Amino acid sequence: MNNAAPEQPAELVARLRATFRSGTTRPVAWRTGQLHRLRTLLTEQGETIAAALHADLGKSSTEAHRTEIDFVIREIDHTLEHLDGWLRPEQVPVPAFLGEASAWTRYDPLGVVLVIAPWNYPAQLLLAPVAGALAAGNAVVAKPSELAPATSAALARLLPQYLDTDAVAVVEGGVPETTALLEQRFDHILYTGNGTVGRIVMAAAARHLTPVTLELGGKSPAFVDRGTDLDAVAARLAAGKFLNAGQTCVAPDYVLTDPETARALEGALAKAVESLYGPDASASPEYGRIVDERHFDRLTALLESGRQVTGGAHDRDSKYIAPTVLAEVSPDAPVMREEIFGPILPIVEVPGLDEAIDFINDRDKPLALYAFTESDTTRERLAAETSSGGLGFGLPLAHLTISDLPFGGVGESGMGSYHGRYSIETFSHRKAVLAKTLS
């Protein structure tokens, strides 16, 4: 079927639901076939997608492949390797009073899944959940972000060329199109974005009692302990923070450390930024751009929230903001009031670990928490006494790359998770089955 023809949301969902009810998507062979085709799309059309990502966000080809295209390929490969085992029914013990009986659980696909992607990783954060939904045996509506128009157009053109168009549809557009989709009954919705829209998605889903996975954001702290190797810490902080010009939901949002360490860290961060992007990041082919003027204006308004250690330069015409480190930042400064989602790294001073833990716990639960410390006691305290979607010691962002770890938030940073087998759990119903003989 040709998805290029205009199709009303109700008709589209009904068509995909008819495909699901026909049983087309249930066989493992169909699921793995779709995953192989999606993988082929990424390998054959990788440069096309990379060019679109560059047009939308200034991403280099290297970054586009590493953080989006190859990321999804690895996720697909991991799923293909383990899918049969994940789907295998799991036997459970039966109490003696039931006599001769057996019981097990099995994963049933949910039906029609809606995936709403954001603009910051517009290929990865659309295709990774789509892969999980297909692996679980569902039909899928994929909604790319209108704020990344080149990537949206490329995926809308390419996905129907490779995937089963009776079971997978792409809907482009902005708020009106998304609103129309949310009026329909889906069997699961996965939304990645901000909390404001997340509440709208959840309210719409509630009308149909549709379960949701919300991958939101938040201010992800990075605690730097006394006595750590600050050159190594700075290199890893800078690489994690300024990737994609800071437009990463799990990027370190701010640094918490004691005053003495803060002073020493300032120079190390300045050197780390120059090592990554040279003396002028605007000339570096590896440094991206802000997605649009609205976000550019929002971010430049935050640049005076502290003393500028490095960076601060910006150009609205090219949507460039230099990698910027701010020192002596007050906890109630403008840059600390909302998720930054851009290339600004504030350093907030606290006396020590106790105060850092209180600082984190007094705020919304973050999507990620990072800590640079060699102390096992400090690591255990942070693990036990704080709550976050993910926890990384010594390296930001990397937990996302491990398919056997769930990716998701908690509280204001989201609900539910996916990646690897957790995608199967999210996009399936784990059914309880009991069988007892009649004799």
Question: How far, in Å, CA of 41 to CA of 253, rounded?
Answer: 34
* Alpha-carbon gap, residue 409 to 367, rounded angstroms: 5
pLDDT in tens, 165-192: 999 999 999 999 999 999 999 999 999 9
What does the buried/exposed string (b/e) look like for 41-71 if buried means 16 or more CB atoms within 10 Å of the residue's CB? Answer: bbeebbebbbbbbbebbbbbbebbbebbbeb
Which residue in 323, 347, 320, 353 sits closest to 335, CA to CA? 347
Give yes or no: 90 in active site.
no
Tell me if residue 296 falls in helix, strand or coil.
Answer: helix
Task: Choose, from 63, 68, 75, 249, the residue flagged as catalytic.
Answer: 249
CB 416 within 8 A of CB 369: no
CA separation for the pair 407, 389 (Å, rounded): 7
> Could you report the per-residue pLDDT of 357-390, keeping only the tens digit for each?
999 999 999 999 999 999 999 999 999 999 999 9
Q: Whose CA is closest to 391, among 408, 406, 370?
A: 370
Tell me the per-residue pLDDT of 29-46, one tens digit each, with 9 for 90 and over.
999 999 999 999 999 999
Question: What percentage of residues in the chain have a pLDDT greater than 70?
Answer: 99
Tell me how far apart the alpha carbons of residues 72 and 46 are, in angstroms, rounded to a whole number: 11
Write down the catalytic residue from 63, 68, 75, 215: 215
Task: Work out the burial of residue 351: count CB atoms within 10 Å of its CB; fewer than 13 is exposed, 13-18 middle, 19 or more buried.
Answer: exposed
Q: What is the pLDDT of residue 439?
A: 77
Q: What's at 392, amino acid-wise?
A: G
d(CA 87, CA 30) in angstroms, rounded, equals 14
Cα–Cα dist 241/254, whole Å: 9
Query: What is the three-class DSSP state of 7?
Result: coil
For 233-286, the pLDDT digits (tens) are 999 999 999 999 999 999 999 999 999 999 999 999 999 999 999 999 999 999
Residue type, 40: T
Tokens of 93: 């013990």
- Taking 50 as the threshold, does the pLDDT of residue 354 lie above it? yes
| Helix, strand, coil percentages for the chain (3-state, nearest 5) | 45, 20, 35
* Residue 334: predicted pLDDT: 98
In which element (H, E) is residue 344 found? strand 344-349
Distance (Å, rounded) from C-alpha 423 to C-alpha 437?
Answer: 35
- Is residue 137 pLDDT above 50, yes or no? yes
Confidence at residue 323, expressed as pLDDT on a 0 to 100 scale = 98
> What is residue 197's predicted lDDT score, i.e. its pLDDT?
96
- Please give the Cα distance from 248 to 358 (Å, whole number): 25
Given this model, what pLDDT does residue 173 score? 96
User: For position 1, what pLDDT does the model report?
Assistant: 45
Q: Please provide the average confidence, as pLDDT, over all residues in the chain.
A: 97
Tokens 């716990």 sit at which residue? 361
Active-site residue flag, 11? no
Q: Is the pLDDT of residue 350 over 50?
A: yes
Other C-beta atoms closer than 10 Å to the C-beta of 405 total 15
The CA distance from 137 to 146, in Å, is: 27
For the chain, which domains are there? 9-216+409-436 (3.40.605.10), 221-401 (3.40.309.10)
**Identity (one letter) of the amino acid at 264?**
A
Give residue 5's pLDDT band: very low, low, confident or very high (50, 70, 90).
low
- The span from the CA of 222 to the CA of 282, in Å, is 26
pLDDT for 146 equals 97
State pTM to two decimals. 0.95
Neighbours of 286 (CB within 10 A): 16
